[in-house]
């Protein structure tokens, strides 16, 4: 029975990882194609649907961690997934004024390359029990460049959205109201601005994974 459940878990995680891989591959292809043919102003419109779908699928990774399907700590995945969902839905989808900014292109390309590598790595590992050394190296090395470019793009887009957030008061709850409660989406945006937590976590994971690979 345990073997059957283990097999089903691996099958599910294999399908999940490769399905989301295809989604991010589509995002990358459309972003590069649009950037080349039409310019950065049109990148968001080209990638919106697959981007929101692929990024929203990451919510399942939090559930995977909570129920024990994967070993990744929720404390590590939640901040990254939460901040990305905030940028995808709470900034780009909610405030069209920032969609034509050049940072959208650097954001989408940084995210998509990172996720293409990550999902192919875990998809291969679940399907075959291990991943080739070159893919392992890419998984734990490319973030050294892609995390800074991604987080810089996130912070830049949030900063550029601040005037529109303040002017529109969208998602804010103003006083007075029957709940006697207030929430200012403008100030909440400052809380979401980048943290080095995920970068330092990945540095530790890189050292651990690559040293293990050398021993093997």
Which residues are catalytic, by number?
147, 154
According to DSSP, the residues that pair with 183 across neighbouring strands are 173
CB 138 within 8 A of CB 176: no
71 DSSP assignment: -
Helices (H), 100-184: 103-128, 133-139, 143-168
**How does DSSP assign 126-147, residue by residue?**
HHHSS--HHHHHHHTTTHHHHH
93 DSSP assignment: I
Angle at alpha carbon of residue 151, lines to 185 and 17, rounded to 5°: 100
Cα separation, 175 vs 104, in Å, equals 34
Cα separation, 64 vs 86, in Å, equals 20
Q: Which tokens in the block code for residue 48?
A: 């919106």
176 DSSP assignment: S
């Amino acid at each position: 029975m345990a073997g059957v459940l283990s097999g089903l878990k691996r099958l599910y995680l294999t399908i999940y990882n490769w399905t989301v891989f295809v989604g991010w591959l589509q995002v990358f292809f459309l972003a590069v194609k649009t950037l080349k043919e039409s310019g950065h102003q049109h990148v968001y419109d080209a990638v919106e649907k697959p981007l929101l779908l692929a990024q929203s699928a990451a919510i399942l990774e939090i559930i995977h961690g909570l129920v024990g399907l994967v070993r990744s700590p929720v404390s590590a995945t939640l901040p990254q997934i939460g901040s990305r969902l905030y940028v995808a839905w709470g900034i780009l989808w909610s405030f069209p004024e920032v969609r034509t900014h050049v940072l959208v292109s650097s954001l989408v390309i940084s995210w998509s390359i990172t996720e293409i590598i990550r999902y192919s790595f875990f998809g291969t590992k679940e399907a075959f029990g291990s991943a080739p050394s070159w893919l392992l190296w890419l998984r734990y090395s490319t973030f050294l460049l892609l995390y800074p470019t991604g987080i810089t793009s996130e912070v830049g887009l949030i900063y550029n959205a601040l005037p529109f957030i303040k002017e529109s008061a969208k998602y804010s709850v103003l006083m007075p109201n029957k709940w006697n409660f207030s929430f200012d989406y403008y100030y909440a945006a400052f809380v979401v601005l980048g943290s080095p937590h995920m970068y330092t976590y990945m540095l530790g994971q890189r050292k651990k994974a690559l040293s293990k690979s050398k021993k093997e």
